[in-house]
Amino acid sequence: FKGKVYRATKLDENLILQLKEGSKMINTTFWSTSKNIKIAENFMKKNKWRNAFIICDAIKTNIDIDYEKLNPYNEYEVLILPFTEFKVEKIYSENKYGKKIYIIELNELGNKNFVSFKNMNNEFINMSTFFKNCINQFEKALTKEFKNE
């Protein structure tokens, strides 16, 4: 997937204040994002503890799981893998949804190949490829299961 994705989340305010425009950052967990800004805004509105709204230009190191079979809630989800590198383009705060929130605009840098491991064939494979293969296998299994019903 290539395009804008959105995420409502909770971030430690000390971490947010350390982010500077032009700096780089790496996520250390999976990020569930949406291609639909309204879905991310709804998550922000519904949860009082969420204090950050991330807008990201994703370029390649993610998994688009926008399949009704895999995501029955139709959240137009794009899963960003751990250890994806981003550049902070903009960061500012607003009073919105009855609370102070931070808007963080990121660009994915695409430096994903530094995280790799060996697969069952003893070949090195990067994390992005590994998870894309897992999603493809899961989708095939679901398709096969639905055909057998």
Helix (H), strand (E) counts: the chain: 3, 10
**Residue 95 pLDDT:** 93
Nearest alpha carbon to residue 58 among 78, 73, 36: 78
Taking 70 as the pLDDT cut, the residues of the chain under it are 60-72, 111-120, 124-131, 138, 142-149
**pTM of the entire structure?**
0.74
